[in-house]
Amino acid sequence: MPLASRDGVQELAKVKPRGRSGAKSTTKVVEEHQDLAPELQDRPVWYATRFSDFDIHLFREGRHYALYLKLGSHPMEVSGRQGTYFAVWAPNADQVSVMGEFNGWSRDNHQLHVRLDGSGIWEGFVPGVDAGSMYKYHIKSKYNLYHAEKSDPFAFRRETPPHTASVVSDLKYEWQDQAWIDRRKNKAGQAQPISVYELHLGSWRRKPEEDNRPLTYRELAEELPGYVKHMGFTHVELMPVMHHPFNGSWGYQITGYFAAHSLLGDPEDLMYLIDKLHQHDIGVIMDWVPSHFPSDEHGLAYFDGTHLFEHADPRKGFHPDWQSYIFNYGRNEVRSFLISNALFWLDKYHVDGLRVDAVASMLYLDYSRKEGEWIPNEHGGRENLEAISFLKEFNHAVHDNFPEVLTIAEESTAWPAVTGPVENGGLGFNMKWMMGWMHDTLDYFSKDPIYRRHHQGEITFSIIYAFSERFMLPLSHDEVVHGKGSLINKMPGDEWNRFANLRALYAYMYAHPGTKLMFMGGDIAQAREWNHDSSLDWHLLEDRYHRGVQEILVELNAIYKAEPAMYRHSFSPEGFEWVDYNDAHNSVLSFLRKGDSPDDTMLVVCNFTPVVHEHYRLGVPQSGDWVQVFNSDDSRYGGSNQHNEGVLSSVPEPFHGQQYSITLKIPPMAVAYFKLRPQ
């Protein structure tokens, strides 16, 4: 492999990379076949590189999407010696040294060599340093006598907090999920049900008998896949598992973008968990945070004595809400860092999707800022043009390299075409969280049913814009924290009514167009607000009402996956038709969900009051028998068991603008589904 030149002499070394995972790589290490000169082998840091001229070109252009194969620490062999190659980007450093266990944490003994091509990359091979060795970079800046001990931005493994060292890792893991990967590719681009179980790994279950510690990745792998499979969810979404120093940030303040959070185990342990989920036919979506990063001195902030990763002007580079730094999306090397990080999790960890956090904060220069606290763009507007360009490039890179992988935006405004194709001016996401639906729906359900007649427009409004984007309906962690209370405790009334409301909410959500997401705890009607330091209250399942909520979700997921009408046209109006949205007096809604065949049609009837409606007449689109296939008021779930027995035969009497009609009983505080059997 070619080595960095010194004094005009190009030295060469025979390099054998080792420890690479079996995953497909997008770049290759250049190899040569000449040993390092013997007189250079006595030095503590040998000249070596993993970069070709083309790598440097791509890095400078902001289009190197596999930097994790180049920068960071990589065990390998040079001239017959085992050791580790180190490389770090610090263009404003005057000196960069590797310090670690191997040299007694000396700040000066192992100085890296700066490349002479102006890239700002410092690199070198240290013989005798193996996987598992702890290290940091000691960086002396060219400016203001600044120096600091920094964790490696590209380290695959980190020391457990509060310790901050990086750990040399080779990411050895033998994947057993090829059947899943093949199925994922075969289903790409097809309409499919997507029902997501969002969870925080550190608080899903804990070990109270062992000082309330969280389950490790390996322990989770023995419990989580089976549970999610039983519940019928198609995917899990993991709140950030990237390395973070403060558990109270829930993972959203990341210092180690390429490292699995070490509190729960090693990188290979997380791979094992993902592998097990895939073997249970469960996809894995990860939360990804390119919007901001914390100010911890060992992290990315002020990395080489300058604002390297963050924008230098605090009006663009500092986030007032989260007291954290904002990436400089206009700097090419930073774009390479971020997009490489996204592809890293898809490549090395076989992740099936990325949910991008806080997209709105990236899109607007004045996000959460007062007048005078932000800088307009070159056109005088408030749009962050650099962030917009970055998000488009991110989606383009992901879908170019992994066409079957999903990208999902948490975007809380009416920004146009978030899920529109990049080539048509859109941002290129596959889906967007329907934040308006979540807020309006929870606000409606929190009202006493006697007042809901005055808020019918609040619960029907979402259909007006339901097909303007490819929406996912979230009941996320954001709604059960910071004093908002749990979902069950948002519901009004006595115990029966609260649980009936919650069951109706879930049944309405599964019938509404869009894919689905539910945060853990919602599946058992967790009574307490979520606490990241404690387990979910699994003992609640001893109560029949809580158990009924779990059972209704099993049923809803089964119907959602089995009935094409419920997912075939999730993002287009041809899959939805109102029957009647005007019965505000009774707080009743009725609509059709449709597939490609009339035989797929489902009639959904919602009653958001505790009053039973006998002999209620509804228009239906065609002749046939309508059979009740689901009722959230079933006694199995804790309901009052008010059912429509047998079949409901349509009669040729026009009603609600339809040619036929049926007469039915509408159960109290419930949602019922009816399936058409055409005559």
Q: Do 83 and 76 form a contact (C-beta atoms < 8 A)? A: yes
Give the per-residue pLDDT at 24. 37
Dist. CA 170–CA 175, nearest whole Å: 15
Rounded distance between C-alpha atoms, residue 235 and residue 277, angstroms? 9
Which backbone phi and psi does 316 adopt, to 5 degrees?
-120, -15
Low-confidence spans in the chain with pLDDT less than 50 = 1-34
State how far the alpha carbon of 189 is from the alpha carbons of 175, 247, 287, in Å: 25, 37, 22
Write the burial class of residue 315 (CB in 10 Å: 0-12 exposed, 13-18 middle, 19+ buried): middle
357 catalytic, yes or no? Answer: yes
Cα–Cα distance between 87 and 81 in angstroms, integer?
A: 18
Distance CA 500, CA 638 (A): 8
Q: Phi-psi region for residue 656, left (φ > 0), alpha (ψ -120 to 50) or beta? A: left
Q: How many residues does the chain have?
A: 679
333, 357, 440, 469: the catalytic one is 357
Burial 117-146 (b: 16+ CB within 10 A, else e): eebbbbbbbbbebebebbbbbbbbbeeeeb
Give whole-number Cα distances, 218 to 222, 264, 265, 266, 275, in Å: 7, 8, 8, 10, 11
**Cα–Cα distance, 331 to 314 (Å, whole number):** 16
pLDDT tens figures, 493-528:
999 999 999 999 999 999 999 999 999 999 999 999
Among positive and negative, which fits the CA dihedral 322, 323, 327, 328?
positive
Q: Is 485 left (phi over 0), alpha (psi -120 to 50) or beta?
A: left
Q: What is the pLDDT of residues 626-652, one digit of tens each?
A: 999 999 999 999 999 999 988 999 999
Most distant CA pair in the chain, distance: 98
Q: Which helix (H) or strand (E) holds 560?
A: helix 544-562
Which pLDDT score is estimated for 678? Answer: 73
Residue 491: predicted pLDDT: 98
Q: How far apart are CA 503 and CA 669, in angstroms?
A: 9
- What pLDDT digit, counting tens, does each position of 188-205 carry? 989 999 999 999 999 999
At which residue do the structure tokens 């100010």 appear?
295
d(CA 494, CA 538): 22
Those residues whose C-beta lies under 8 Å from the C-beta of residue 558, and which sit 6 or more positions away, are 232
Measured CA distances, 222 to 163, 213, 225, 352, 519 (Å): 28, 16, 7, 20, 20
Dist. CA 45–CA 86, nearest whole Å: 10
Instruction: Select which of 287, 410, 563, 633 is catalytic.
Output: 410
Nearest CA-CA partner of 410 in 449, 447, 438: 438
**CA atoms within a 13 Å half-sphere pointing along the CA-CB vector of 50:** 27
Q: Which of 359, 358, 325, 299 is nearest to 151 (CA)?
A: 299
